[in-house]
A = this chain, B = another copy of it.
Amino acid sequence: MDTRRKFIQQGLLAVTAATLAGVPNSFALADPQRGHKQGKRDDRFNLGVAGYSFVKFGLDESLAMMKRMDVRYLCIKDFHLPLKSTAAEIAAFHEKLAQSNVKGYAVGPIYMTKSKEEIDNAFEYAKRVGVKLIVGIPNKEDLGYIADKTKTYDIRYAIHNHGPEDKLYPNATSIYELVKGLDERMGLCFDMGHNMRDGRDPVADIKRYHTRIFDIHLKNVTSATKEGSTCELGRGVIDIPAFVKMLRKVGYGGMCSLEFEKDMNDPLAGLAESAGYFRGVLDASA
């Protein structure tokens, strides 16, 4: 076993132990990296895609795009796998992903602000899908109820921040303050773009809140204001090399999933450029 391979396997073991216990076995077989010979890429965090990037596309087309980019982790959105899916439908879904060498590592974001039943359904869904992480948007008054669920199911729950328009969770701080006293399975899906749009520093916030950051929506934005919008990863106001440096410093062990909300009718070019940029930063700074 060469050093590179060993490093990948060690990385996988660490990720598996930390965040992905119980995910189907095929996970451990998938090589999360490309056929790269440099041996420099940091394997503790892996590149994925947030399902919302493919909101205009069915699963087959989405997987074809992931294959072009060689991105192997997907945060599953309900338009690709409805919450009411049967066991057979879920099995077929996983099989289809496996054929494209893709792993569904989490579900969400799932809105659950209307009733407790939505919370119950989300946990049952995650259990049936076989993932250990839900990205969600809950009511604040339900957080205690959700914390109990995370214990019962041993499934982590990551609240998604959505920028200055979001009355509940505009930024990482607003979520961290709510979950820091709750069960350690309660945390954040850190949307670094919306955080920046709310005038918050994504690098500093990774440092502050990393113990509760379970997932990242990897993106850049055109300005640090409400008017900012998603752009290709290397073209925005967030300093991605500094962001990656901080991820390494704190030992982030989760996924970095591209959520590309530009050119949504034809997102492949922007997603591919962003994937390339992230890999270039990783390789050049490892």
Interface residues of A (CB under 8 A from B): 34-38, 40, 65, 68-70, 222, 232-237, 239-241, 244, 268-270, 272-285
14 contacting pairs across A/B (C-beta < 8 A): A35-B236, A40-B241, A234-B283, A241-B283, A268-B268, A272-B272, A274-B276, A276-B276, A276-B278, A278-B280, A280-B281, A281-B283, A281-B284, A284-B285
User: Would you list the 4 A-B pairs with minimal beta carbon distance, nearest first?
Assistant: A280-B280, A276-B276, A273-B276, A276-B277
Chain B contacts of A281 at CB under 8 A? 280-281, 283-284
Nearest Cβ distance between residue A62 and chain B, in whole angstroms?
14
A183 to B44, CA, bound (A): 52
- Are the CB atoms of B269 and A232 closer together than 8 Å? no
- Main secondary structure, interface of A, reads helix
Chain B contacts of A69 at CB under 8 A? 269, 273
Nearest Cβ distance between residue A217 and chain B, in whole angstroms?
18
Nearest Cβ distance between residue A9 and chain B, in whole angstroms?
20
Chain B contacts of A269 at CB under 8 A? 65, 68-69, 268-269, 272
- Are the CB atoms of B273 and A241 closer together than 8 Å? no
Q: Taking CB as reference atom, which chain B residue is nearest A65? A: B269
Chain B contacts of A272 at CB under 8 A? 268-270, 272-273, 276
Nearest Cβ distance between residue A203 and chain B, in whole angstroms?
12
Most B Cβ at <10 Å: residue of A68, A240, A272: A272
- Are the CB atoms of A38 and B280 closer together than 8 Å? no
- Are the CB atoms of A234 and B34 closer together than 8 Å? yes
A239 to B233, CA, bound (A): 22
Name A285's contact: one of B38, B232, B276, B285 (CB within 8 Å).
Answer: B285
A232 to B277, CA, bound (A): 12
A282 to B190, CA, bound (A): 26
Q: Taking CB as reference atom, which chain B residue is nearest A41? A: B234
Chain B contacts of A278 at CB under 8 A? 276, 280
- Are the CB atoms of B232 and A276 closer together than 8 Å? yes
